[in-house]
Each structure stands twice: as C-alpha cells, then as structure tokens.
Chain A
Amino acid sequence: MRAADALFKSLEVEGVDHIFGIPGGANLPTYDALVDADLRHVQARHEQAAGHAAEGYAHASGKVGVAFGTSGPGATNLVTAIADAMMDSVPTVFITGQVRTDLIGTDGFQEADIVGITMPIVKHSLLCTEPEHIPEYVHEAFHIASTGRPGPVLVDIPQDLARAEIDYQERTEPVDLSGYKPTVEGNLKQIRLAAKAMANARRPVIYSGGGVNLGDASAELRELCASDKFPVTSTLMGLGCFPADDEQWLGMLGMHGTRTANYAMDEADLIIAIGARFDDRITGKLSEFAPSAKFIHIDIDPAEISKNVPAHIPIVGDVKLVLPKLTREYQTLQTDSSRLDGWWSRIKAWQGEYPLTYEPGGPGEIKPQLMVQKLHELTGGDAIVASDVGQHQMWAAQYYGFNQPRRWINSGGLGTMGFGLPAAIGAKVARPDDQVICISGDGSLIMNIQEMATAVNEEVPVKVFLMNNGFMGMVRQWQELFWSERYSGVENGPSPDWVKLTEAFGAQGLRCEDSADLEEMIVATLDADGPALLDVRVSPRENCYPMIPAGNAARDMVG
C-alpha cells in the first residue's frame, strides 16, 4: 500500500472523521490519498486558520483535532496555531508535508525545518525518515496528543516517503512509549491529606482551571463542590466547568475577574487548585498572591506543581480520577458546613458590594456588555461561543455565564487574535447540531476573515457577532490607563465595510447601530441561513473592568 494511503488508514483507526487543511506541493501524495479516504476534509484558506479550526474542533468535541499543511510556508503558517495549542493544552495533531528526503538540508523549494522551528512549542514532534514509520508515528502522535496533559504533536512527512509503497498492517495493540508514562491515579495518601486539610479550612476556595474541561471532569468537580459549601472560581480556560448560575460560584478570577473571586483568593486560608497553572494573569504580583493561603495543587503535569506557587499538598493525576477519590475521602470526614458561614457572609458582602456591572449607555448606545447579555439571552445561554482576543473576549467571559463545559472556546494562554472565526468553524464541524457563535472584535476578526470563504464554501453556518468599536480596544485601554493616553497604532478607522465584506464572501451581513434594534438584529443573524455576520457598533471607548493592573495584587483591583 502507498504510505499516504496507510496514513489515512491509521487516521481512521484513530477515529478521525474531520481534517482541516490546505494542500501544496510537498503534501500532494497525501491529498491524492485523501480522494479515496473515508473522512471529511474542510479546506481552509490559510494554514493558521486550519490549525485554529482543529483546535476549535478539539475543544468542542473532546477529540483530537487534525490539521494538514504543506512544507515551507504551509508549515510555518501553522506555527501560531501550534503555539496556541501548546499554551492551552489542546489535543491536536499537525501533519505537514516536507520536501523530498534528497532535498532536505539543501534549501530546496518550499523547504523549512518545521521540526526545528516548532521544537519549543510542541508536546512532541516526529520527522519521518522511513515510509514504514508513517502509520506508527500517527498512532504515537495521537497517543501523545490526547493523553496526560494534552497538546500539539507534529508529524512531518517528506514527499517521497508518502509516495513509497509499504507493507501496511493495521495496528491493534496500544501505543507504549518507555519515555512517556503519565501519572493519572493520584496518590491516595496525598488525597486523604487534602481532604483533611479541606475539612479544617475556614476560608477555602476552589480554583478550577482549563484542566477540568480538558479532562472532562466537570461532573466530578460539581460533586466535590456539592459535598460542602465550597466557594468556586474558574480561570478563563476553566469557564463552564462549574455552572455560572450556581450559588457557590464566585465568577471568574484573575485580571478581569470579579472582585469577589479575587478578594476571596486574597483572603483564603486554603486554595484548592484543580487543573490550573497559576498563570500571571491569575496571580498578579506573585509575592502578594493569596498571602494567607496554603495550596493543594491537583494537576496531571508534575512540572506545573510548584512552578509558580509552591504547593503544600501536591497531587499529580488525572482530575477525572482524582476528584471522585477526593470527594469520597472528604465525605467520610462528615464535616460541619456551618464552619464556613462566616466565610460565606464575607463573600456575600463582596457580592453585594461589587457585582459585575457597567454604566448603562446613552440613548441608542450599544454597550458591549449588553451585547453579550443579549446574546446569552437569545441563545438560551447554551451556545458554543468561540471568541477572539481582547476586550470582547473578557466581556464575553464575564457576561455570557457558561453553565456547561466545552461551550467556551478561546485562546487563553497565547492570546491569539484571529483565533475566533476558524475556531468557531471547527466547533461547528464537530457539533453541527449546536448553535455556534463567534464573538469577535474588529481588530481580531480581520486577522483571519478569509475564513468566511471556508464557512460559505464548506457550508458551516457559524454566526459572527462583531463587537465593532473601531479600535484595538484592549491596547487602547492600556494606553489610556497606563501609557498617559499616548495612543499609538490602535485606531482601525472606517475600513472595511464589514457588511459588504461579508456579502462579498457570499454570507449574510447585517449591521446594528441602535440598542433598540439589538435584539431583533441578533435574532435575525441567529436565524439566517448559512454563515452570517452582525456588525454591532458598540461604545467605542468603553473600558473592560474590573481589572487588576499588570503586576499588582488582587486587592488593588480598579474599576
């Protein structure tokens, strides 16, 4: 069998039914084999977008997202998506074509050392040197991408190897790599210790992160939280792992989190970190982060434990396996919830004093926060929301109110503008029966707007809600607040006309300039046949609050 055909056989064994990509010279054999393969190829318009679509697909489905690109520029275009998947631990496999083996190292046409370029931003990478390795490498790639702490794996296949004939035999035994054995169970002694510490805490906070979503442990987290009145907060990546409408929910924490969540962290005596990594957007000034707290840190990646904040009780394991054990251990202790009454009255006081709020707009003015609230309302709070990066992302995170996991898809770690639209396409391909919307900004959306062509041609009916303020809003906000209002490079001006642009792609373009029309226009966009975009003219200089200025402590929140 030709190795390129064996590649697809192996992908089928891995359960792949969707791939995002773009062909080119070096992956011609792969695309030739694709003709006979039993899966759907979504043809993106830029490899970066193919990569983000694969990420969106992985986020929405929990499966491994797959993207194809050719050698050289095709591969380098994938780099941002690979880095993004690394930062947010998205299970993805990137398969690139490479120039023929006899050309490698000669600066051949469209040659780039993509394995070398991506070494610091992949979980692992494999350069095929023998055609027989291709199926084996595919299985290794899927195993590594999807187990332990998930992440991107690159498989680079020289063109001549993909064309070679090999003796293909379907792999039946599981992949076993001697240098890769993730710890999943969690040490029971440590789990018992954690339960006892929790039982003795007076001011505990559960700090849940993206790992809970990635580990499909939302139900397990909810059970743990239900075993007592633990206050719960989530990171940007963790939103949806705990219901935003639950009484124990404090809101998101971190730079644009709620005052309640941040103040609770600041005064906590015990913080239970679950699948979270103490990012600088969470801790603010590290030396003043949660000064009174002891830390239980549960994570599948041992290197995350005590990386930024030393853990008192480290637990290495898969949250889906560790949390039920912790809940069980905690329940046997039969604690008295009333010990948390004082803590809750303090929390309730913050909630009363500092609700998430904004000044209502003037007549006709569309406040961006209102736009998100309306989207929540009109989608029943149950849409899959893909977002770009910037102010709109923070407002979406603050005001959409996610109650379910895998509903909020964004670029948290790398902060990739241009992520939203292709990620929404990927999510919609994965979950065709769900409502998938993209909340974007005018700075971000244009960075991958060519994907409107993908949405139209591939008939992926995503709905884009553009929070158009005419600025690189978050940068403008920082220049206003921290750079003496010396605005530099942040005005986007009147171009493009988003409605005409959308129409040029063959999708429906709508515009809303008056708050009185907002609901009607949102509904019209949601109900449109096929992909559609609503250009919403929001308050141009609205700032995103509350905020912990970079390098400050939680108690120094402003706004």
Chain B
Amino acid sequence: MASTDMVRLEDLHTGNSRLSGRKHVLSIMVENRAGVLARVAGLFSRRGFNIDTLAVGPTEDPEVSRITLTIDGAVHPIDQVTKQLHKLINVLKIRDMEPDETVAREMALFKVSAAVENRAEIVQFAEIFRAKIVDVSRRALIVEVTGSHDKIEAFESMLRPHGLLEMVRTGEVALARGGD
C-alpha cells in the first residue's frame, strides 16, 4: 500500500534559514591563471555580495591559488554565494570554514604617533598583544601584530587614542585544523 508511507505536504520544510547571521570565512581554491581573481571579485559585485576582507596567495600546488575571503552571513545568503562561486569554471573547491575547526589569522601593521611620553605605553601594549615593533623613528613606531580578527580589532582600539597615523591589514587567511 503506497498511501502508508506518503509524504504529507505539511511536513515538508525548506532547508536552513538562508541567512546564518554570522561572519563566514570562505577558502576558495582556484586555478592559478590570469583573470581568475577578477572573475571572483566580479561575481561578488554583480550579485551584490559585499566582501569584508580578501587575501590571495599561492598554495603548495603551483597551479592552484587560494583566495580567502570573509563575508557577512547576516546580510548575504552564504549558500547562494558558494553556489554562484562554484559556477566559475576556474574555481576548483570552496570551503566554508567552520569557526571551531579553523585556525584563522590576520596580520596588521600600525603606524602610531609615539612621542617620548607615550612610547613606553605603546611598547607595553605591544608586549601584551605579542606584537612587534618593526620600525622606530623619532615621531612614530610601526607595530606588527598577527592574530585573530578580534585580537587585531582590540589592538587597534588600544592604539587609536595614541594617534594612529596609518594602518594596513592583510585580511584573514585560514586553514582547517587536523590532518585532512
């Protein structure tokens, strides 16, 4: 009897909510060819997806590059973003990195105005955040810091009151933990 295992329409549900509400780190393996970054970036602008950070670099395989980008899942349906990315022929693999299973790091350089009276305090902050002073001049210091996105945000907020002259951040790069 077929009717006993019928699927009742009222029991059907769509997949997970389309907006996850959190930041996502996408690790995108692409062919190392001219124009591939333009295709990926162009896809985001065409579909109205906003990239928060972007980092591109070589991988262990010279024919493959890794694009690591972060995107706000509270605004954009990540599922749709990854499916559109998969349609690019040069995109080989996409991983939506699970926060708990991922090591994600960003590097930043901060040029801080450092007069004699606050120089010690900046050096102290740098020690606490395990940052390094990489350039010293009479009026300014350049501090290098590596860490999670949050750590860098925190460090930046500590430095700001001292007069942040310039800053540059790499955008997050990430690898999955474990051996797979």
What residues of chain A have their CB less than 8 Å away from a CB belonging to chain B?
115-116, 119-120, 123-124, 127, 129, 144, 177-180, 193, 196-197, 199-201, 269-270, 294-295, 301-303, 306-307, 310-314, 332-335
Question: Is B15 an interface residue, CB under 8 A from the partner?
Answer: yes
Known: A119-B38, A303-B87. 17 other contacts (CB 8 A): A115-B35, A120-B46, A144-B89, A196-B7, A200-B6, A269-B9, A295-B14, A303-B83, A303-B86, A306-B14, A306-B18, A307-B80, A310-B14, A310-B15, A310-B18, A311-B14, A334-B2
> B6–A199 contact, CB under 8 A?
yes
Question: Is B99 an interface residue, CB under 8 A from the partner?
Answer: no
Question: Is B88 an interface residue, CB under 8 A from the partner?
Answer: yes
Chain A residue numbers with a CB within 8 Å of B12 are 197, 294, 312-313
Most chain A beta carbons < 10 A, residue from B7, B14, B30: B7
| Contacts A/B (CB < 8 Å), 30 sampled | A119-B42, A120-B42, A120-B46, A124-B89, A127-B34, A127-B35, A144-B89, A178-B92, A179-B30, A179-B31, A179-B88, A179-B90, A196-B6, A197-B7, A199-B2, A199-B6, A200-B7, A200-B9, A201-B9, A269-B9, A294-B9, A295-B14, A301-B87, A303-B86, A306-B14, A306-B15, A306-B18, A310-B18, A312-B12, A333-B6
> B34–A312 contact, CB under 8 A?
no
Chain A residue numbers with a CB within 8 Å of B38 are 116, 119
B1-38 vs A, CB cutoff 8 Å, 1 = contact: the mask equals: 01001111100111100100000000000110011001
Question: Is B91 an interface residue, CB under 8 A from the partner?
Answer: yes
Q: When the two chains form the complex, which single residue of A312, A333, A335 contacts B13, counting CB atoms closer than 8 Å?
A: A312
CA–CA, A266 to B92, complex, Å? 40
Question: Is B151 an interface residue, CB under 8 A from the partner?
Answer: no
Question: Is B132 an interface residue, CB under 8 A from the partner?
Answer: no
- Interface pairs A-B: 9 shortest CB-CB: A310-B14, A303-B83, A196-B7, A312-B12, A333-B2, A124-B89, A200-B6, A120-B46, A179-B92
Question: Is B124 an interface residue, CB under 8 A from the partner?
Answer: no
Chain A residue numbers with a CB within 8 Å of B6 are 196, 199-200, 333
> A196–B13 contact, CB under 8 A?
no
**Minimal beta-carbon separation of B9 from chain A (angstroms):** 5
Chain A residue numbers with a CB within 8 Å of B91 are 179
**Minimal beta-carbon separation of A396 from chain B (angstroms):** 32
**Minimal beta-carbon separation of B17 from chain A (angstroms):** 9
Question: Is B50 an interface residue, CB under 8 A from the partner?
Answer: no
Chain A residue numbers with a CB within 8 Å of B15 are 306, 310-311, 314
> B83–A302 contact, CB under 8 A?
yes
**Minimal beta-carbon separation of B129 from chain A (angstroms):** 40
Chain A residue numbers with a CB within 8 Å of B46 are 120
B151-173 vs A, CB cutoff 8 Å, 1 = contact: the mask equals: 00000000000000000000000
**Minimal beta-carbon separation of A300 from chain B (angstroms):** 11
Question: Is B98 an interface residue, CB under 8 A from the partner?
Answer: no
Chain B interface size, under 10 / 10 to 19 / 20 to 34 / 35 or more? 20 to 34
Question: Is B39 an interface residue, CB under 8 A from the partner?
Answer: yes
CA–CA, A200 to B18, complex, Å? 27
The residue in chain A whose Cβ has the minimal distance to the Cβ of B10 is: A294
> B89–A180 contact, CB under 8 A?
yes
Question: Is B79 an interface residue, CB under 8 A from the partner?
Answer: yes
B81-124 vs A, CB cutoff 8 Å, 1 = contact: the mask equals: 00110111111100000000000000000000000000000000
**Minimal beta-carbon separation of A195 from chain B (angstroms):** 9
> B5–A196 contact, CB under 8 A?
yes
> B79–A306 contact, CB under 8 A?
yes
CA–CA, A116 to B63, complex, Å? 22
Chain A residue numbers with a CB within 8 Å of B88 are 179
> B89–A179 contact, CB under 8 A?
yes
**Minimal beta-carbon separation of A331 from chain B (angstroms):** 10
> B80–A303 contact, CB under 8 A?
yes
The residue in chain A whose Cβ has the minimal distance to the Cβ of B6 is: A200
CA–CA, A311 to B83, complex, Å? 15
The residue in chain A whose Cβ has the minimal distance to the Cβ of B7 is: A196
CA–CA, A180 to B34, complex, Å? 18
Q: When the two chains form the complex, which single residue of A116, A314, A335 contacts B2, counting CB atoms closer than 8 Å?
A: A335
The residue in chain A whose Cβ has the minimal distance to the Cβ of B41 is: A119
Contacting residues of chain B (65-81) with chain A, CB-CB under 8 angstroms: 79-80
CA–CA, A306 to B31, complex, Å? 28
CA–CA, A269 to B39, complex, Å? 40
> B7–A193 contact, CB under 8 A?
yes
The residue in chain B whose Cβ has the minimal distance to the Cβ of A199 is: B6
Chain B residue numbers with a CB within 8 Å of A116 are 35, 38
CA–CA, A123 to B34, complex, Å? 17
CA–CA, A178 to B88, complex, Å? 11
**Minimal beta-carbon separation of A322 from chain B (angstroms):** 18
CA–CA, A306 to B34, complex, Å? 32
CA–CA, A180 to B42, complex, Å? 19
The residue in chain B whose Cβ has the minimal distance to the Cβ of A308 is: B80
Chain A residue numbers with a CB within 8 Å of B18 are 306, 310
Most chain A beta carbons < 10 A, residue from B13, B15, B31, B42: B15
CA–CA, A449 to B164, complex, Å? 64
**Minimal beta-carbon separation of A550 from chain B (angstroms):** 20
